[in-house]
Amino acid sequence: MIRCAWCGARNYAIDSWCSACKQHLDWEPPAGRRRRWPAALALRAAVGGVALALALPAASWLTASSQTPPTLPTTALAPVTPATSPAPSFAATAEPNSTSDAPPVDSTPTTEPTPAPTPAPDQVVPEQAATPNAGDPAAVVRAFYQAVAAHQFDLAAALWTPGLQAQDPPAQFIDQRFAETQELNLAAEHVVGEGGGVAIVYVDVVEITGGETRHWIGTWQLVDSPSGWLLNQPNLRSAA
């Protein structure tokens, strides 16, 4: 590195011209100007010192401002603690709101009247008794003997076809015939033939009347009607 004789700036040895004052490094200024560059250096040093002096207060202010935030949260924490104490008061106000919700609970009795229509199942019970009979001829025969055993003669007569009721009036062939019957057990029943809307059901019946036991076997002919299978013609004989 070489120093310029004109301004005192430092330059590389390979440079020919000063990078600061643009003077040729091989030329030297007159004797009067040669003394000026030390004064220029002194002036630069003075300006640098003033700038440094001005920068120090600014730096101290910045550091002080950066330290203030930690103190602020500590002061903000104090108001936060009293804010939590009013919270229970809000909880107390919320309790009346829960009481205001109680009236909707009173509206629940409106749902209680809805299950009140219990008589509906009573209407379904007879329908359920007729439903299995409609599709199973053997079930119709079983229902007939169960009604007779319970002395429900009207229900038993309803399982006969109009033709059978006209041929054998139920008042005589059901009501009078089984009025003294004490027990009537259907030991067996099963379909032995079916086709063309007609079914034949085999039966094995044990009857007790006046302490006397009677055993009946044979078949029942049933016909398929719009309301289901109905008993149309008996073919029974005494087994003993």
- In the predicted model, what is the mean pLDDT of residues 180-195? 95
Q: Using alpha carbons, list the distances in angstroms from residue 32 to 2, 29, 153.
A: 21, 8, 154
- In the predicted model, what is the mean pLDDT of residues 98-108? 41
Beta bridge partners of 229: 224
Q: Is the pLDDT of residue 188 over 90?
A: yes
| Cβ neighbours, 10 Å, residue 143 | 21
| Euclidean distance between CA atoms 133 and 122, whole angstroms | 19
Q: Is the pLDDT of residue 110 over 90?
A: no
* Coil vs helix vs strand at 229: strand
pLDDT range class, residue 4, cuts 50, 70, 90:
confident
Q: Pick the closest to residue 209 from 182, 227, 229 (CA basis).
A: 182
Picking from 24-38, 115-129, 184-198, which range would have the lowest pLDDT averaged per residue?
Answer: 115-129
132: Cβ contacts below 8 Å, ≥ 6 apart: 139
Picking from 34-38, 97-101, 181-185, which range would have the lowest pLDDT averaged per residue?
Answer: 97-101
Structure tokens at 1: 């590195």
Share of the chain above pLDDT 70, in %: 56
pLDDT at 27: 78
- In the predicted model, what is the mean pLDDT of residues 199-205? 97
- In the predicted model, what is the mean pLDDT of residues 193-212? 96
| Burial of 194 from C-beta contacts in 10 A (0-12 / 13-18 / 19+) | middle
Picking from 56-70, 87-101, 140-154, 195-209, which range would have the lowest pLDDT averaged per residue?
Answer: 87-101
Angle 151-156-157 (CA atoms, 0-180°, nearest 5)?
120
Q: Is the pLDDT of residue 195 over 90?
A: yes
Q: Is the pLDDT of residue 170 over 80?
A: yes
pLDDT at 30: 72
Tell me the one-letter amino acid at 17: W
Q: Which domains does the chain have, with CATH numbers?
A: 2-60 (no CATH), 132-238 (3.10.450.50)
Q: Using alpha carbons, list the distances in angstroms from residue 209 to 149, 188, 190.
A: 11, 20, 25
Radius of gyration of the chain (CA): 60
Q: How far is C-alpha 189 from the chain's CA centre? A: 50
pLDDT at 223: 98
Picking from 32-46, 67-81, 126-140, 166-180, which range would have the lowest pLDDT averaged per residue?
Answer: 67-81
Q: Is the pLDDT of residue 160 over 60?
A: yes
Tell me the one-letter amino acid at 145: Y
Residue 222 and residue 229 in contact, taking contact as beta carbons nearer than 8 Å = yes
Ranges of beta strands (E only) in the chain are 2-3, 10-11, 181-195, 198-209, 212-225, 228-238
pLDDT range class, residue 167, cuts 50, 70, 90:
very high
Q: What are phi and psi of 136, to 5 degrees?
A: -130, 110
